[in-house]
Amino acid sequence: MGSLPPGGTVVGVELDDIAARLGVSVDEVDRVHRLAGDAPSAPLPARVDAPAILDRLAVGPDDAAEIMAGWPVLDSPLWTPELRWLLDRSVALVRADLGGFGWLSPGPELPRDRGPAWRHLYAYAYLALLEVVSAYHRSHGIEEAVTWTTLADLGRNLAVDRRMHGEGWPVMQSWLTLHARGGLYELGRLQYQRSATTLDLHIPESGPLTPDSIDASLDLARAFFPRHFPDEHYPAFACGSWLLDPQLQEYLPADSNIVKFQQRFELEPYEQPEGLDADVEVLRFGFRSLSTPLDQLPRGTVLQRAIIDHLKSGRHWYWRRGHFAI
């Protein structure tokens, strides 16, 4: 990728000009500029190596073809100075928080209909950070298989975003900075996010949520984190999800995988999460669509029917958080 100069200008262009050319607010560009600071960027892998890397990251053929078509080679007309600045500073921003585990946006949402460079800018940033986060994993003695399994969530998220016609990416681009900083690990059926007080569970789209698969994953986590992060001590697993909403028990059989998953947790008192609409999240994860009318959504499973009927009755879903001892 090459390193572009940090600071208030790029090839003589001020930050407000960068914002105008990107079609985003000056505040968003200023945030990237401030958080990246003087942190170093990182180069992309060699383009010749990219197909094998994308395959290892489970990137599907359509997404891989677009990423390769927009690859930011030197002198590419797709890559304007402001795009190159944003890619460089986005990588620096994420790298500056290596080892962090909080929610972090790598940059502003871009108009993705302007071509592959715009559509996949944050995928390129992720690719540029592969060696950085892999080195972080190695420094903690983490097995290469865990590294690649964890980082291959890129392909899964790109595929979901394609199914959602671009509706998913604004959330996913921030989600993927957890992987790129060493803040999250996929161990069997579940993903685990480090935090200040708990190990937070996440549920990737990777098959049934069977009790046996959950038990096996939890056992992996109980061994993994004391081994690789011995200075961090977690008394409990925790999860925040609409899947923990007790209202689901009105619709699902008592022996369903979701109900059995709920029963592991002691629910915390309800608090409305700031900036999060649980009804929207249910549609995002339950149907991978935010714009399809309820009457046109599929009703192929008990869960899908429950989601639709609940919303059509005028009721709402809630994002609940729970925990249980490690």
CATH number at residue 250: 3.40.630.120
Q: Quick one: angle between helices 130-139 and 121-128, nearest 10?
A: 40
In this prediction, residue 87 carries a pLDDT of 97
With 60 as the cut, is the pLDDT of residue 156 above it?
Answer: yes
Task: Indicate whether 62 belongs to any domain.
Answer: yes
238 and 116 in a common domain: no
With 50 as the cut, is the pLDDT of residue 5 above it?
Answer: no
Task: Indicate whether 125 belongs to any domain.
Answer: yes
With 60 as the cut, is the pLDDT of residue 4 above it?
Answer: no
In this prediction, residue 269 carries a pLDDT of 92
pLDDT tens digits for 60-113?
A: 999 999 999 999 998 899 999 999 999 999 999 999 999 999 999 999 999 888
Reported pTM: 0.92
Least confidently predicted of 75-79, 137-141, 192-196, 234-238: 75-79
Parallel, antiparallel, or unpaired for β 199-202 and 236-241? Answer: parallel
DSSP state of 231: T
In this prediction, residue 206 carries a pLDDT of 87
Taking residues 302-323, report their average pLDDT. Answer: 96
pLDDT tens digits for 266-299?
A: 999 998 888 889 999 999 989 999 989 999 999 9
Could you give phi then psi for residue 78, rounded to 5 degrees?
Answer: -70, -25
Task: Indicate whether 21 belongs to any domain.
Answer: yes
In this prediction, residue 171 carries a pLDDT of 82
Task: Indicate whether 194 belongs to any domain.
Answer: no
pLDDT tens digits for 173-189?
A: 999 999 999 999 999 99
The number of folded domains in the chain is: 2
Integer Cα distance of 75 and 292 in angstroms: 41
Residue 13: pLDDT band (50, 70, 90) is low
Parallel, antiparallel, or unpaired for β 236-241 and 320-325? Answer: antiparallel
177 and 64 in a common domain: yes
98 and 14 in a common domain: yes
138 and 88 in a common domain: yes
Residue 47: pLDDT band (50, 70, 90) is very high
Beta-strand ranges (E) seen in the chain are 9-10, 13-14, 184-187, 190-193, 199-202, 236-241, 266-267, 320-325
Residue-range definition of the domain harbouring residue 221: 204-326
271 and 134 in a common domain: no
Give kind and range of the element (H or E) at residue 116. Answer: helix 116-119
In this prediction, residue 248 carries a pLDDT of 97
Across all residues in the chain, what is the average pLDDT? 93
pLDDT tens digits for 99-122?
A: 999 999 999 999 888 999 999 999
Task: Indicate whether 196 belongs to any domain.
Answer: no
In this prediction, residue 42 carries a pLDDT of 97
161 and 113 in a common domain: yes
Task: Indicate whether 192 belongs to any domain.
Answer: no
Integer Cα distance of 277 and 109 in angstroms: 19
- The residue among 2 and 88 whose pLDDT is bigger is 88
99 and 3 in a common domain: yes
Task: Indicate whether 193 belongs to any domain.
Answer: no
174 and 82 in a common domain: yes
With 60 as the cut, is the pLDDT of residue 300 above it?
Answer: yes
Task: Indicate whether 188 belongs to any domain.
Answer: no
Integer Cα distance of 82 and 70 in angstroms: 15
